[in-house]
Structure 1
Amino acid sequence: MRAQLARVDAVLVQAVIAAALSFAHLHDVASAAGQDGWKAWAYPVSVDLLLVAAWRRLRSGDAKAAGWCWFVIALTASLGANVATAGLLDLDQVPAWLRILVAGWPAVAFLGGTLLAHSAPAPQVGAEDAIHAVDQEDAPDPAPAVSAQPAPPLAPTPVSVPVALVEHARKVAAEHQTRTGAAIDTPTLRARLGVPAAMADAIAAQL
């Protein structure tokens, strides 16, 4: 247990020293590029925060490509500041391209942090949901609904025909047969009497 604690303490101390040195180097580069005062201190904070956000995304196991991309970008910024302050770059005569990179870093860091923080991971399907889906697949198909049989047509309502009208129809039919030599048909009877079709049928049935 003591050996493990000693190993953890050594790693922690080493991480704190590396972070402090990188923090100071980033501040020096930002200050040399024209970012004075609190702005120079904000640059190392943004780089470290982007590193932490990218590392958390890698640890979560979701969207690892995006996590590696922004982790490499933040690590490059930190490592570049360390190399630049090692004597390879004259901080009194900072080149224009470095000033452009330092000036554009806040927008890059904001974009990376936003994408890492708000990109939603893929929804996980729980065991209960999977069982429910399997039950739905195995369930038998519902029986088809029995279509209702069409209702039989209603019988026509009998039409009451006055006796006098029937007698008049007989005279009309007799006159038609005498004149034409053929029995009168229902359409002709209806036209001669001037009655509805239903009543003409009822009269013709009584002739």
Structure 2
Amino acid sequence: MTRSIRPDAVLVQAVIAGALSFAHLHDLAAAAGQTGWKAWAYPVSVDLLLVAAWRRLRSDGPSRLAWCWFIVALFASLGANVATAGFLDLEHPPALLRLGVAGWPAVAFLGGTLLAHAPKSAEDRVPDSPAPATPVTEPVTETEPEAEPVSAVVDTPALPAAEPAPAEPAPAAAAPAVPVPAALVDHARKVADDHRARTGSPIDTDTLRARLGVPPQLAHAIAAQLA
């Protein structure tokens, strides 16, 4: 029940504050010699400039232009509230007040135009979607198997006694399996799925190695796990 009352109280407070500020701006414009509909147009102009600057701040983030015009409109509204509180003789307004009220339409038009049509800065533009970061892996040291010496076979003339055939060299030790981190395998699977979705064909080892930036042996090991 309390949560449903709070927005209503805030709305009532906003309506009261807006009505008082609107009336003060109207009284100040009327005291400065603006009569009829012109006196009612001044509070509308001030409040619209204030709202436009606030919306620019909410949509584009911090901006010097938006903050500048927000402060200008806020000071105009606050100045009208203070001036109508008895600090100025509205029966005989000073010439500076008349000058400010007379020049406000041009100032408000300039501020509204700049807020509506000023281009966004480079920071406000939508950046391109960043490429997926490649997880950093420790460099894999490639160990080459030591080749065992192979005995050379020398052609000899035939002898009465047959000599035993030379022993065949032992097969070279198989290359050790390259360890592949699990995180790199998961990232490679995402890259392969993206390639298949874009091209309709599975990714080959060379393309996978180029996309991941890994050595050929590691790329073959990853491709074997993705198969």
TM over 0.5: yes
The share of aligned pairs that are identical, in percent, is: 69
> Which piece of structure 1 moves more, 54-63 or 107-116?
54-63
Q: After superposition, what is the alpha-carbon deviation per residue over 1:24-47, rounded to whole angstroms, capped at 9, x for unaligned?
A: 000000000011000000000000
Aligned in 2, Cα 1:8/1:103: closer, same or farther, shift over 3 Å? same
| Alignment-derived partner of residue 74 in structure 1 | 73
Which residue identity lines up with residue 112 of structure 1 in the other structure? G
Which residue identity lines up with residue 66 of structure 2 in the other structure? G
Q: TM-score, normalising length from structure 2?
A: 0.55
Q: After superposition, what is the alpha-carbon deviation per residue over 1:11-58, rounded to whole angstroms, capped at 9, x for unaligned?
A: 110010000000000000000001100000000000000000010011
* 1:97 is aligned to 2:96: yes
Question: Structure 1, unaligned stretches of length 5 or more?
Answer: 132-137, 140-207
Kindly state the Cα deviation for residue 63 of structure 1 after the two structures are TM-superposed.
Answer: 5.4
Distance 1:103 1:44 in 2: 13
Aligned length: 132
Distance 2:90 2:106 in 1: 23
| Alignment-derived partner of residue 117 in structure 1 | 116
Kindly state the Cα deviation for residue 106 of structure 1 after the two structures are TM-superposed.
Answer: 0.4
Distance 2:9 2:20 in 1: 17
| Alignment-derived partner of residue 15 in structure 2 | 16
* Greater gyration radius: 1
* 1:26 is aligned to 2:44: no
Distance 1:71 1:123 in 2: 22
Question: Structure 2, unaligned stretches of length 5 or more?
Answer: 132-209, 212-227
- SS class of match (2:33): coil
- SS class of match (1:113): helix
| Alignment-derived partner of residue 46 in structure 1 | 45
| Alignment-derived partner of residue 126 in structure 1 | 128
Kindly state the Cα deviation for residue 5 of structure 1 after the two structures are TM-superposed.
Answer: 2.1
Kindly state the Cα deviation for residue 67 of structure 1 after the two structures are TM-superposed.
Answer: 1.2
- SS class of match (1:56): helix
Which residue identity lines up with residue 40 of structure 2 in the other structure? W
